[in-house]
Amino acid sequence: MSVVTVSPKYQVVLPKEVRERLQLVPGCKLMVFASPSGVRLVPVTPIERSRGFFPGLSTEPDRAQDRDLGSEARVP
């Protein structure tokens, strides 16, 4: 476990072992969450890296549902 100090500009430096473990490089974005127990920093994963995350999942829209609602969705 590493300890960091908040600078007068409210900045912190992530320790090298954390940066290496999470493969963080300059320009990476982190989401910041405040919780009752402290602060969490979560790397933002680019959408391109999610490709293939759900193999076999159909990405085609279900148009049958749209057709079923077609007559009800119209306002007289």
In a domain, 33, yes or no: yes
37-47 pLDDT, tens digit per residue, is 999 999 898 77
What does the pLDDT read at residue 6?
A: 95
35, amino acid identity: S
Instruction: Answer yes or no: is 67 within a domain.
Output: no
Contact 4, 15 (CB under 8 A): yes
Domain count, the chain: 1
In a domain, 50, yes or no: no
Domain interval for residue 26:
14-45
pTM beyond 0.85: the answer is: no
Query: Three-state SS across 52-73?
Result: CCCCCCCCCCCHHHHHHHHHHH
- Contact call for residues 44 and 31 (beta carbons, < 8 A): yes
